[in-house]
Structure formats: C-alpha cells, structure tokens
Amino acid sequence: MNLGPYTLFDIDEQNEETQFKIRVINFEIEELFNHTASDTYLPLNNNSLETCKNKNDRQVELLYFSLRKIRLLFKENPDSTKRKNQLEYLSNTLDHFVNWYEDNKFQIPDKIPLLEWSKGSFSANKNFSIIKIKNKSYSLRRNQPKIVELLFQNLTDELDGLSYKDLSRELDLTSYGKLSNYFKDSPRVGDLFNYSKRNGKYILKT
C-alpha cells in the first residue's frame, strides 16, 4: 500500500494567468480529515487538461490499490484506530480526484487495474506503470516503466541482471548517465533493484 503523498494535477487561473497547478496531499493524522493539501503553481508550458488526466489516472489507480489493502487490513482488525485513520485519509484523498474528474467532465477510472505480471512479491499492471513489491505500491512515470519491464523480463528469463550500459543500449537512455538519474524521487533505485558491485548489474527485487 502507499500512504502518499498523492499529487493532483490541474490547469487553473492564478493572478489572471492560466497555470499548471500541482496539489500535494499528505497524510497528517492531527489534521482535519487526516490530511493536508498544498498547492504549487507553475508555468503552463505544454501541459493541458489531457496531460493532467493521464497523470491523475495513475494516481487514482495507486489509490485504488492502497484502499483495497487498507480495507482488508481494517476488516481483519476493525478496532484498529490506525487503519481507520489511514482509510479516512485515502478515502478523502480520493474525493479530491473525484471532484476534479466531475468538474472537468472526465470519466474517473472505475476499477482496479489487473496486475498481469508477477514473480515472487513483485507484481505489475500491463504496461508496468503501477507496480507492487511486498506491501509497497509505486506509480511509475517517464522512462521508469520500460526500465522495470526490461529487468522483469531479464529476471523471468533467469538471467543475471543488466548493467546500466546494457539498459542504456536497449532502451536508448543516456550512455553517460546512471540509473539513479531516472529514480530521483519515490521510488528510488534501492526500492526496486538489487545492485551487485561484483559485476555492476541490477536485478529486480522480488
């Protein structure tokens, strides 16, 4: 499960200018509805409502996964105030997204996407944009899904991992970079991969 923070993307008017709005929703047990929301406004650039929808879709899918997990845990222990607070936070966070979809006349994702790929404690949806390792869920973006997919295939084929040079050649990444450049925030490299100093290769955690 993932207790956030979750990020809601929007296009909004601020100071008589159309801007790209980013609302970060954090779990705060001492606050009303167990969460806080802070807004940041950036230049619009090439962002649009469709851009926001694509980003928000991934956030909603991750919320669905987390809600399902918390509901199961709460059902097993209905006296747990910890699970009750977590459930309230996730439910109220989802409300932010529901309101956004309604205001912009978009259809909110209405079901939990299937996890089609799995090995050990690792599982992923069809395009590897949502993955789960043990009890932790992540929403991937940009180049991250294709990196994870390639390392998943490598693991499935029972090979011994891939070096950054292998990954950059196969996926057209920058040859002079390093894997951590693509995982600067959550998830980080260590969250998803084991690294061998002996052969310089990465292996997906399972």
Statement to judge: residues 87 and 122 lie in one domain: no
| 152, part of any domain | yes
Here the CATH number for the domain that contains residue 141 is 1.10.10
DSSP label of 118: E
**Model pLDDT, residue 113:** 61
Residue 105's pLDDT band, with cuts at 50, 70 and 90, is: very high
Rounded-to-integer distance, Cα 203 and Cα 206, Å: 9
Classify residue 64: in a domain, yes or no.
Answer: yes
Residues 164 and 192 in one domain: yes
Picking from 45, 62, 46, the residue whose alpha carbon sits closest to that of residue 8 is 62
Q: Is pLDDT above 80 for 115?
A: no
Residue 148: exposed, middle, or buried by beta-carbon count in 10 A (0-12, 13-18, 19+)? buried
Q: Which of 103, 133, 149 is the last residue of a domain?
A: 103
The pLDDT tens digits for 36-56 are 999 999 999 999 999 999 999
The full DSSP string for 168-199 is HHHHT--TT--GGGG-SSSSPHHHHEEEETTT
pLDDT range class, residue 203, cuts 50, 70, 90: very high
CA–CA separation, 101 and 9 (whole Å): 11
Stretch 52-74: mean pLDDT:
88
**Whether the bond into 145 is cis, omega within 30 of 0:** no
Same domain membership, residue 125 and residue 97: no
- Number of domains within the chain: 2
Asked whether residue 62 is domain-assigned, the answer is yes
Domain termination residue (choose one: 79, 103, 127): 103
**In the predicted model, what is the mean pLDDT of residues 29-42?**
88
pTM: 0.62
Share of the chain above pLDDT 70, in %: 97
What range defines the domain where residue 163 resides? 117-204
C-alpha distances (whole Å) from 99 to each of 62, 63, 96, 143, 164 are: 17, 15, 5, 30, 42
- Residue 110 included in any domain: no
Query: Is there a single domain that holds both residue 23 and residue 87?
Result: yes
Q: What are the strands of the beta sheet with 136-139, ordered from one edge?
A: 117-119, 122-124, 130-133, 136-139
Residue 111 included in any domain: no
